A and B are shown apart, each in its own frame.
Chain A
Amino acid sequence: MDTEDIELSEDEEEITAETVLKTLQNAWQNERLSPEILPHHNDMVECMLGQIQHMERNINKLPKTDLRSCIHKMELNRIKYIICNYLKTRLNKIESYCIAIVNEEKQRIESGTNYLTPSEFRYAQEYVLNMENHLKNTVLDHVPGNMQTFEFNKMAIYPNYQSHVFLKANETVNGIVLEDLLGDQDEEIDLEEGSQHILQYKPIADLVKNGKVQLV
């Protein structure tokens, strides 16, 4: 019943199951707390699901009364919770901001920096399509002809990038510019390693994505 090292085929990098779990947990926490959808961690999810399957097969071989079996089951349930909640949070965001996400994702796919997994993207596109059909069937088809066009851009809901978030700096980052709306005195702050702050999401969005800060 070892948690042996797992090999990621794409980049031949060896990482332990422990590291994968830690990364997933941080990704889950960030996804829960950031206003926008973040780049996916599908490789980590797949890797962990594989590990869970492997563990479950081994647990089934153990006698029911074995203490190990309930400890392992408990751990697996904890990990499954993280994965489920992570994926659900992403789906919720996709549903809330579907039009905006599909539009932005199309551009990101062209530049090869997609945030969604292929199946999430398919889900988002189908969701938009279903919403459009639903609104057409229930409302638009029954109103005068000159009002029947479905205006996507007017329907789009965007995440609020100006919303305030709590974060902890994983490493020191200098010179975050905070916009001053009323005066013209933009403020510049430094995030020292380990320090905690509350500030707008927009100036630190990239730092969340490259892991320099962790949302709390």
Chain B
Amino acid sequence: MDPFEIEFIGENRIVSIIPNFSHDKIFLICGEFGPFRAGLPMNVPLWLAVMLKQKQKCRMVPPDWMDIEALETIKEEEKISRFFTKMPHEHYMIEAKLILGVAAEDIPRAAEIKTIIKDIWDIRMSKLRTSMDALMKSGGSYGRLDHLTMMEINSVKPLLPQAMDELHRIKMMTRQTSSSTLNSSTFSQSGSSQNK
């Protein structure tokens, strides 16, 4: 999938805004939101929040996790742990990118927060590269990836799955040449098939 599609999925996340207008409840297909009361915080999907912000009809409320202290703790844990630690939520990077992109003035210490989130991302990506390397070197065809977010998983596509496919193909060939009974049907199948 393309990164913009992951962003599209992440935009369904619910965030808090403070509208500067009043309006009755709106009944959307993805749920009911409202009523909008000027000055009172309320929850809407991220895509709607971004749209209202761009029309200057609301202020964004920083999500709970978008806080320097909390992020510092996450960063330290991520540095110490050998494994991936649990992120505030599945789409933290998308939420950060969109909110800091359109509403940086609504977030206290936005620049610092941006830096820390980028640091966390970098630590995790370098960890991901190391573990991919280890997985390939051990000739693995299986890996467990708890706590990796969708965007992070997507960033190693198609490299990792395709490398594992190739490894699998090599193993198949080794097995065929070493075994006396050639199983030609499975070979031609995996050879002529396409990667999606």
> Do A and B form a real pair?
yes
Size of A's binding interface in residues, CB under 8 A: 49
- Which residue, A48, A51, A72, A162, has most C-beta atoms of chain B within 10 A? A162
A182 — nearest CB in chain B belongs to which residue? B171
B residues in contact with A163, CB < 8 Å: 161, 165, 195-196
Cross-chain contact of B161 among A70, A158, A164 (Cβ < 8 A): A164
A206 interface hit (Cβ, 8 Å): no
B160 interface hit (Cβ, 8 Å): yes
B residues in contact with A125, CB < 8 Å: none
A165 — nearest CB in chain B belongs to which residue? B161
| Bound-state Cα–Cα, A2 to B32, Å | 9
Q: Which of A102-110, A116-124, A133-141, A190-198 contacts B (4 or more CB under 8 A)?
A: A190-198
A residues in contact with B143, CB < 8 Å: 197-199
Interface mask (B25-69 → A, CB under 8 Å = 1, otherwise 0): 011111100000000000000011001000001000000000000
Chain B: number of interface residues, binned into ranges: 35 or more
B29 — nearest CB in chain A belongs to which residue? A17
A residues in contact with B5, CB < 8 Å: 32
B residues in contact with A51, CB < 8 Å: 29
Cross-chain contact of B144 among A17, A35, A55, A197 (Cβ < 8 A): A197
Known: A160-B165, A164-B161, A198-B145. A75 touches B29 (CB 8 A): yes
Q: Are A164 and B29 in contact (CB under 8 A)?
A: no
B residues in contact with A150, CB < 8 Å: none
| Bound-state Cα–Cα, A193 to B28, Å | 30
Q: Are A198 and B161 in contact (CB under 8 A)?
A: yes
B98 interface hit (Cβ, 8 Å): no
Q: Are B190 and A162 in contact (CB under 8 A)?
A: yes
Cross-chain contact of A189 among B47, B142, B153 (Cβ < 8 A): B142
Known: A157-B194, A158-B189, A182-B171. A164 touches B144 (CB 8 A): no
Q: Are B9 and A29 in contact (CB under 8 A)?
A: yes
| Bound-state Cα–Cα, A1 to B148, Å | 39
Q: Are B8 and A78 in contact (CB under 8 A)?
A: yes
B172 interface hit (Cβ, 8 Å): yes
B residues in contact with A170, CB < 8 Å: none
Interface mask (B166-196 → A, CB under 8 Å = 1, otherwise 0): 0010011011000000000000011011111
A34 — nearest CB in chain B belongs to which residue? B196
Give A79-100 interface residues, CB cut-off 8 Å to B: 79, 81, 93, 96
B169 — nearest CB in chain A belongs to which residue? A162
Known: A71-B48, A200-B168. A187 touches B190 (CB 8 A): no
A143 interface hit (Cβ, 8 Å): no
A16 to chain B, nearest CB (A): 9
A92 to chain B, nearest CB (A): 9
Report which A residues bind B (CB closer than 8 A).
1-3, 17-18, 21, 25, 29, 32-35, 48, 51, 55, 67-68, 70-72, 74-76, 78-79, 81, 93, 96, 157-160, 162-166, 178, 181-182, 187, 189, 195-200, 216
Known contacts A2-B27, A178-B141, A181-B172, then 7 further A-B pairs from the complex at CB < 8 Å, ordered by chain A residue: A51-B29, A74-B47, A160-B195, A162-B168, A164-B168, A166-B157, A181-B171
Complex A-B: 29 CB contacts under 8 Å: A18-B30, A21-B29, A21-B30, A25-B12, A29-B1, A34-B196, A68-B23, A74-B48, A78-B47, A96-B194, A157-B193, A158-B193, A160-B193, A160-B194, A160-B195, A162-B190, A163-B165, A164-B160, A164-B168, A165-B161, A166-B161, A178-B141, A181-B172, A197-B142, A197-B143, A197-B144, A197-B145, A199-B143, A200-B168
